[in-house]
Amino acid sequence: MSNFDKREEGFEKKFAHDEELRFKAHARRNKLVGLWAAEKLGLTGAAAEAYAKDVVTADMDKPDSDGVFGKLRRDFDEKGVAQSDHQIRRTIEEATVKAVAEIQAGQ
């Protein structure tokens, strides 16, 4: 194997590793956001966990923060929970930072 092939293989492994970490952080972020929203909606225990799973699923339907944001916005509006668009997006951003930190710390 030439040096070029070794470097290429190394870059491919790093890319795959980085993508796996990104996926895990994204899923963790969605769960954190789902649990936050569940609390705002008055859900606890198993109902809160189920809601968080629904938020993760919403992201699979629209794989970006708009899928999660859209679900939260609709659910908050439906239940009369007062949260601004800014607050929802800020919470998503904060959860992203927390999820990445947790993944990097090996949690």
Tens of pLDDT, residues 58-104: 877 666 558 899 999 999 999 999 999 999 999 999 999 999 999 88
For 18-39, give one letter per residue: b (16+ CB within 10 A) or e: eeeeeeebbebbbbbbbbbbbe
Average pLDDT of the segment spanning 14-23: 79
> pLDDT value at position 29?
94
- Do residues 34 and 105 touch, judged by C-beta distance below 8 A? no
DSSP state of 64: T
DSSP state of 96: H
- Structure tokens given for 9: 């293989």
DSSP state of 80: T
